[in-house]
Amino acid sequence: MLMRWDIEHPGQVKLMPTPLPTWDGVEYVDTQALPTFRTGDGTGEFGPKLDPVEEWVDGIVVSSFSSTEELNLEDIEIGDALFPTEDERAKITYPLRQGVNNDNGVLTDVYFVLHDINDEELADELGLIYAGGLAGDVAPPVAATAEASFDSNTGEWTFFGNLPNPILSPKTPAPGAPAQSAANTYSPLRRVNIDGKDVIVNAWFVKWGDDEWEQLRIDQSCVAFPDDPPNTSCMYNGLEWGGHATLSGHALGIDTTGPDPTVSMKLHKSWFGGQWDTAEYAPYYVVVDSFPAGPANNMGVIYVPKHEFLDKAAVPLIQWVPPTPLNSSYPPTVSDGLNLAGGGPLGGQIGLPTYFMPGEDFSPMWHIGFSHWTTPATKVVKGLDELKRLRAEGTLEVMEWPAINVNSPDPAVRDGYDFDNLPTVFNIVNCPTPITLDIAVHNAMKRDRAENNP
């Protein structure tokens, strides 16, 4: 018999894991994955079933590409770069809110998604993600944010400052599109008072006009899910890196014509926690805006100059260099064959975020680094602690964007990503994370269903 251990002693660094016994052995899950891990629920052995999928934002729907029916993430196969399956990417649909942007008296109707907030009580009340990493000592400075107002009586939102920079395709610029500006004052991070509380929300714009550069770019080259093998039927950034406006992007559809406007986005998987090559969680995220202009334009998302000033509000996220360039249009990374192919943005294995679910340390703003194996990769790395251990052994290196730094003869450049002192020359991406999949619970429940339904 295995006993659950939830006791916390003074000075204890890490909670004891909860055992999940099965006929095939025992897996473990962190006790904080349970909402009542400190208080208990009094239900004992016959209590409520654990759900391996946590959806953190109200109103979202996850589906395959061609269907509007909800996709059951409980039934997917958890694959990786060594054993690819169909779950690297899916489609997520958000309800859109409508507001008004006030730029020195010029009023424009805008459609946006309200996703994260740095107050836990309001997050629960509004059905949003609690992003404590946008509060306190690590809160983004005023220079990295913009203002908004919210009328709690009418539910109306007003945003102040510039509309977003136009979304431009570097290779096929749209005729008549205005130029981008490094002085643009748009930011998805808004200072706003809600119910008497001064908070910061992540409210990212989806559409602010009728021209093609006034909305997130829709990737028409994404033709089907499942995307198996990864980066084939629906590539992470699109068929071309910064190519024709219909061949890259992170939106899959925007509908503002009916009474219930929506946006559908590519939903990307990442790995969190674990040791060796076993992840504890699979956080799923979307990509909505970025800094600097190059990556933003190539990904078909908003270029936000204010992200330059995020400082500690941007947390590490490590992506991977592929074994060979994904195709001729993508950045010339390296062709040494040492890395693994997978569902990552440049065709390498998928990324490793710092935080994986709402909480005091969570921030949707990611400071991107790229890892490159210096010896032939034999496994998929599924946690930052494991990555740091391998880096200390010299079997891989982690660099700042651009990933072509891997070709530098200077080891300090190739391995220049400093987790503790992130530099001022960087790539920041706004990656809201609406879903977390608990791997241990997921696997245990799949085995249970298979045993009971042979």
Give the residue ranges of DSSP H helices in 103-259. 120-126
Average pLDDT, the chain: 85
| Helix (H), strand (E), coil (C) string for 43-104 | CHHHCCCCCCEEECCCCCEEECCCCCCECCHHHCCCCCCCCCCHHHEEEEEEECEEEEEEEC
Q: Distance between CA atoms of 42 and 59, rounded to whole angstroms? A: 30
Give the residue ranges of DSSP H helices in 191-326. 293-299
Lowest mean pLDDT among 9-23, 151-165, 342-356: 9-23
55: left (phi over 0), alpha (psi -120 to 50) or beta: beta
322-338 mean pLDDT: 89
Q: How do residues 8-37 score in pLDDT, each as one tens digit?
A: 444 444 556 667 666 666 766 665 555 454
157-176 mean pLDDT: 92
Is residue 273 very low, low, confident or very high in pLDDT (cuts 50, 70, 90)?
A: confident
Find out whether the peptide bond into 295 is cis, omega within 30 degrees of 0.
Answer: no
Q: How do residues 385-410 score in pLDDT, each as one tens digit?
A: 999 999 999 999 999 888 778 888 88
Q: What does the pLDDT read at residue 77?
A: 65
Q: What does the pLDDT read at residue 10?
A: 46
Lowest mean pLDDT among 214-218, 229-233, 314-318: 229-233
Q: What does the pLDDT read at residue 292?
A: 94
Whole-model pTM: value is 0.86
Q: What does the pLDDT read at residue 406?
A: 82
Are the CB atoms for 187 and 430 separated by under 8 Å?
Answer: no
Q: Report the percent of the chain where pLDDT is more than 90.
A: 58
Is residue 373 very low, low, confident or very high in pLDDT (cuts 50, 70, 90)?
A: very high
359-385 mean pLDDT: 93
Q: What does the pLDDT read at residue 421?
A: 86
**pLDDT at position 296 over 80:** yes
148-160 mean pLDDT: 96
Find out whether the peptide bond into 10 is cis, omega within 30 degrees of 0.
Answer: no
Q: How do residues 113-140 score in pLDDT, each as one tens digit?
A: 999 999 999 999 999 999 999 999 999 9
Q: Which residue, among 443, 281, 346, 343, has the nearest Cα to 80 in the 3D structure?
A: 343
Q: What does the pLDDT read at residue 53?
A: 81
Question: What number of CA atoms fall less than 13 Å from residue 23's CA on the CB side?
Answer: 8
Give phi and psi for 218, each to the nearest 5.
Answer: -95, 125
Q: What does the pLDDT read at residue 84?
A: 57
Q: Which residue has the higher pLDDT, 11 or 91?
A: 91
167-194 mean pLDDT: 93
Q: What does the pLDDT read at residue 249?
A: 95
Q: Distance between CA atoms of 262 and 49, rounded to whole angstroms? A: 31
**pLDDT at position 444 over 80:** no
Lowest mean pLDDT among 226-230, 279-283, 371-375: 226-230
Lowest mean pLDDT among 24-28, 151-155, 160-164, 172-176: 24-28
147-151 mean pLDDT: 98
Q: In this structure, what token pair is assigned to residue 64?
A: 């395959």
